Structure 1
Amino acid sequence: MSARTVFRPYASLFAVPGALAFSLVGWLARLPIPMIGLGTVLLVAGETGSYGLAGALSGALALSFSVVSPQWARLTDRRGQSSVLRVQVSAYLLFGAAFAVAVIVGGPHWLWFALAALTGATSPNIGALVRARWANALDGAGRQTAFAYEAVVDEVVFVVGPPLVTLLATLISPPAGYLAGLAIGVIGGFWFAGLRATEPPIHAADPSGPSRRRALLSPTVLVVVIVYVAMGTVFGAMDVVVVGFAQEAGRAAMAGVALAAFAFGSLVAGLVYGLARLPGSLAARFLGCAVLFGIAVQLVLVVGSLAVLVPVAFVAGLSIAPALVSGTSLVEARVPRSALTEALSWTTTGLTLGVTAGSALAGAAVDAWGAESAFAVPALAAGVAGVLALVGAPLLLRARSVDHPAEPLPAASGAG
């Protein structure tokens, strides 16, 4: 069987009019996600020499994004993607640039924190917008493939973004990486907002269906978001522990190789999962993938050298994308269209909160126990994710999906 035949389901995604444009622009607009966070650390540390202050500001940015992003998504479901995104990106540019200026000119620290929080609060959640467009255009099988493809795009973003921002900050100046990420986000955001032909229509709430609040607080959304918090804790902890482990071994550059292996394992698994037609319900697939994730990450407990870390990271990474894709697919199937963007945004919020917590917990563990022992943090968090999924299983298996027929996009030439 040729590679062309194997990957035909992915190629068929781009037969949807305008899909290639909104997916590629969505990739560009998501690139700043890792660049802004790391760029903030490099900017502040470069200007002040304080990594503690830099980490606190990066955390403030991430936390404000987590809290406010679903509110933007709710407005998007009510008003449409393009109009809301233009306002959001304009504010993002204003506050993001003001934060950089405040740091560079040495403004008061309280102003730095205020502007960092405002920058995070206005950061667009492009991933949720892209997935909402796929969900609007495809049926169930096609959505699984599209969501798997987007999970791969997310991994590529986190493989490309950190080295790029580090290179710019190192070779040019500390602010360069942060400002490049901000510029890419603004350009990508406005470009994405201009792709009107593929924008999902506004769906009024169905009077006979569940209320919007009830849909978003449904057992499915709550269980998936809580499991995602635990998964995000694994990701944040792995970043810190792997860097610490490589530094203790005297080979700091190997941290990038190990983290790339972790992401590459997820990328490979995401491609395969998108092609597979697995038996069972969406809820059963999510439960199975979450438990598999909880088991697979326990492999990090056997790491005793960098030679072992890289293959272990790859194997553990194979469990990431299936868990994320199955969770996203389950949420998409269980909420009405009038609340879809907000529901998808809450899944991102769960991951972001977990990453923030994982970074803090792992940093304290590395300082207290050493990096090798600190691998217990991601292992424990992964185990918790699997247990939480099993605890929520009765709720997930009892709930019903919402019927979402695909709505063909206009056959327009060009996606704008």
Structure 2
Amino acid sequence: MSPRTLLGPYRRLFAVPGASSFSLAAWLGRFPAPMLGLGAVLLVEGESGSYGLAGAVSGTLALAFAVAGPQWARVMDLRGQGVVLRVALTATLLTGTAFVAAVVGGAPRWSWFLLAAATGLSSPNIGSLVRARWSAVLDPAGRQTAYAFEAVVDEVVFVLGPPLVTLLATLIAPPVGFMTGIVLGVVGGWWLAAQRATEPPLHPVDPGAPKRRRSVLTPTLLVVVVTYMAVGTVFGAIDVVVVGFAEEEGAQAFSGLVLAVFALGSLFAGLVYGLARLPGTLVSRFVATAVAFGLAAQLLWGVGSLAVLVGCGFLAGLTIAPVLVSGTSLVESRVAQGVLTESLAWTITGLTLGVTAGSALAGAAVDAWGAEAAFAVPAGAAALAGVLALGGTALIAERRAPAELVEDRSTG
């Protein structure tokens, strides 16, 4: 089979009018995701000398982002992405700049937490916005390919973002790394906001309809979100532990490159997953990929050098994109009309809540035990993700939505 035929599903995605432009804009707009958390760690640790404080501040930013993401998405479902994005991103630029100024200027540490929270609260979830655009123009079979492609795009961001922020922070100055993430996010987000023709249709709420919250927080969404919290804990912990481990090894400038290896493994797996026609239901795929993720991360117990960490990171990374794509596909197949963007934002909220816990737990673990022993935090969180997915099987297997049935037939 020729590469042209093999990659046909991806080529067909970009035959959709406007798809190349909105996907590229969203790619650029997602750079804050891998850059702000790590950038905050490097900035605060450089000023304070404490990984515990750095992890707590970075976790505060992630927690605020997790809380705010679905709220921005809900407004966008009602009002449209363009106007709301412009307002949010202007606030992100102002609060992010103020946070850097407070840390560098030696402002009281309570203000660091306050401004980190303000930066997170003003930041919309770009990943959920572009997935909502794909969902509006594709059938279920096409959505699996699109979601896999967007997972790959996420991983490209995570391949490039950590080395970029680390090199800028260590070779120039810590504030440069953080602010570069802010600027890239604002530019990409404003570009996406300008593309009004590909926005999903609006769904104003009927005042006489049942409360909207009930239609969003379904058992399926709750199981995926809780599982993603454990997955996100791995992500948040890895950022802090790898930086600390690289510093112990005398090579902190390489920490971003090591983190990129995790994303590189996920990138390869995402490309393959998007082309595969897998057996089983969306539920079985989600559970299987979550268990595989939990098992692969146990390799972290054997890390004793940067070389070993690179190998373990790549292998563990191979399981990241599949669990994220399968969870997103499962949620999308059972979403209520008019709340797609918000539902997808809740999945990212689960991840970022986990990042919050992971950053704080790993920072404390590095300070207390040393970085090598602190790999227990991401390894344990990954195992928990597999257990949670298995435990939630009864809830999410209660029924199969029509969209899931269509996709199963198209992939069988």
Residue 152 of structure 1 contacts residue 271 of structure 1 at CA under 8 Å; is this kept in 2? Answer: yes
Partner in structure 1 of residue 199 of structure 2: 199
Tell me, yes or no, if structure 1 residue 40 matches structure 2 residue 57.
Answer: no
Residue 165 of structure 1 aligns with an amino acid whose one-letter code is V
Residue 42 of structure 1 contacts residue 169 of structure 1 at CA under 8 Å; is this kept in 2? Answer: yes
Change (3 A) 1:336 1:383: same
Change (3 A) 1:137 1:207: farther
Residue 360 of structure 2 aligns with an amino acid whose one-letter code is A
Alpha-carbon separation, structure 2, partners of 1:310 and 1:364: 23
Structure 1 residue 142 displacement after superposition: 0.7
Range with bigger deviation, 299-308 or 143-152 = 299-308
Residue 239 of structure 1 aligns with an amino acid whose one-letter code is D
Give the % identical residues.
67
Structure 1 residue 223 displacement after superposition: 0.1
Residue 220 of structure 1 contacts residue 399 of structure 1 at CA under 8 Å; is this kept in 2? Answer: no
Change (3 A) 1:100 1:402: farther
C-alpha distance after superposition, 1:206-238 (max 9, x if no partner): 899975322222110000000001111122222
Residue 59 of structure 2 contacts residue 355 of structure 2 at CA under 8 Å; is this kept in 1? Answer: no
Residue 23 of structure 1 contacts residue 130 of structure 1 at CA under 8 Å; is this kept in 2? Answer: yes
Partner in structure 2 of residue 73 of structure 1: 73
* Structure 2 residue matching 1:398: 3-state secondary structure: coil
Partner in structure 1 of residue 124 of structure 2: 124
Residue 139 of structure 1 contacts residue 405 of structure 1 at CA under 8 Å; is this kept in 2? Answer: no
Partner in structure 1 of residue 219 of structure 2: 219
Partner in structure 2 of residue 9 of structure 1: 9
Residue 334 of structure 1 aligns with an amino acid whose one-letter code is R
Partner in structure 1 of residue 31 of structure 2: 31
Partner in structure 2 of residue 115 of structure 1: 115
Alpha-carbon separation, structure 2, partners of 1:272 and 1:233: 25
Residue 147 of structure 2 aligns with an amino acid whose one-letter code is F
Tell me, yes or no, if structure 1 residue 380 matches structure 2 residue 380.
Answer: yes
Structure 1 residue 250 displacement after superposition: 4.2
Q: Which runs of 5+ in 2 are unaligned?
A: 407-412
Residue 81 of structure 1 aligns with an amino acid whose one-letter code is Q
Residue 274 of structure 2 aligns with an amino acid whose one-letter code is G
Structure 1 residue 185 displacement after superposition: 1.7
Q: Which runs of 5+ in 1 are unaligned?
A: 407-416
Structure 1 residue 257 displacement after superposition: 4.1
* Structure 1 residue matching 2:118: 3-state secondary structure: helix
* Structure 1 residue matching 2:397: 3-state secondary structure: helix
Alpha-carbon separation, structure 1, partners of 2:246 and 2:103: 30
Range with bigger deviation, 323-332 or 52-61 = 52-61
Structure 1 residue 53 displacement after superposition: 4.3
C-alpha distance after superposition, 1:225-279 (max 9, x if no partner): 0000111112222233333444444444554443222211111100000000112
Structure 1 residue 354 displacement after superposition: 1.0
Residue 124 of structure 1 aligns with an amino acid whose one-letter code is P
Structure 1 residue 117 displacement after superposition: 1.4
Structure 1 residue 380 displacement after superposition: 1.7
Alpha-carbon separation, structure 2, partners of 1:218 and 1:317: 29
Alpha-carbon separation, structure 2, partners of 1:98 and 1:350: 27
Change (3 A) 1:208 1:101: closer
Structure 1 residue 94 displacement after superposition: 2.5
Tell me, yes or no, if structure 1 residue 282 matches structure 2 residue 282.
Answer: yes
Partner in structure 2 of residue 341 of structure 1: 341
C-alpha distance after superposition, 1:82-133 (max 9, x if no partner): 1211221122223223333344444444433322211110012101100000
Residue 336 of structure 1 contacts residue 402 of structure 1 at CA under 8 Å; is this kept in 2? Answer: no
Partner in structure 2 of residue 90 of structure 1: 90
Structure 1 residue 52 displacement after superposition: 4.8
Change (3 A) 1:47 1:311: closer
Give matches, 1:290-309, under 5 Å.
Answer: 290-309=290-309
Residue 262 of structure 1 aligns with an amino acid whose one-letter code is F
Number of residues of Structure 1 aligned to a counterpart in Structure 2: 406
Residue 127 of structure 1 aligns with an amino acid whose one-letter code is G
C-alpha distance after superposition, 1:277-316 (max 9, x if no partner): 1122111111111111112222222334444332222111
Change (3 A) 1:284 1:209: farther
Give matches, 1:98-113, under 5 Å.
Answer: 98-113=98-113
Tell me, yes or no, if structure 1 residue 147 matches structure 2 residue 147.
Answer: yes
Range with bigger deviation, 154-163 or 22-31 = 154-163
Residue 25 of structure 1 contacts residue 191 of structure 1 at CA under 8 Å; is this kept in 2? Answer: yes
Residue 332 of structure 1 aligns with an amino acid whose one-letter code is E
Change (3 A) 1:96 1:371: closer
Structure 1 residue 350 displacement after superposition: 0.8
Change (3 A) 1:60 1:376: closer
Change (3 A) 1:13 1:321: same
Alpha-carbon separation, structure 1, partners of 2:210 and 2:276: 32
Partner in structure 2 of residue 19 of structure 1: 19
Change (3 A) 1:207 1:154: same
Change (3 A) 1:390 1:41: closer
| TM-score for both structures, normalised by structure 1 | 0.90
Range with bigger deviation, 216-225 or 3-12 = 3-12
Partner in structure 1 of residue 267 of structure 2: 267
Change (3 A) 1:229 1:89: same
Partner in structure 1 of residue 410 of structure 2: none
C-alpha distance after superposition, 1:302-342 (max 9, x if no partner): 33444433222211111111000000011111112311111
Alpha-carbon separation, structure 2, partners of 1:105 and 1:299: 41
Structure 1 residue 12 displacement after superposition: 1.1
Residue 174 of structure 2 aligns with an amino acid whose one-letter code is P
Alpha-carbon separation, structure 2, partners of 1:80 and 1:248: 48
Alpha-carbon separation, structure 1, partners of 2:4 and 2:247: 42
Tell me, yes or no, if structure 1 residue 59 matches structure 2 residue 62.
Answer: no
Taking only aligned residues, the RMSD between alpha carbons, in angstroms, comes to 2.6
Partner in structure 1 of residue 311 of structure 2: 311
Partner in structure 2 of residue 409 of structure 1: none
Give matches, 1:358-369, under 5 Å.
Answer: 358-369=358-369
Partner in structure 2 of residue 187 of structure 1: 187
Residue 159 of structure 2 aligns with an amino acid whose one-letter code is V
Residue 216 of structure 2 contacts residue 343 of structure 2 at CA under 8 Å; is this kept in 1? Answer: yes
Change (3 A) 1:192 1:392: same
* Structure 2 residue matching 1:338: 3-state secondary structure: coil
Partner in structure 1 of residue 164 of structure 2: 164
Residue 155 of structure 1 contacts residue 266 of structure 1 at CA under 8 Å; is this kept in 2? Answer: yes
Structure 1 residue 349 displacement after superposition: 1.0
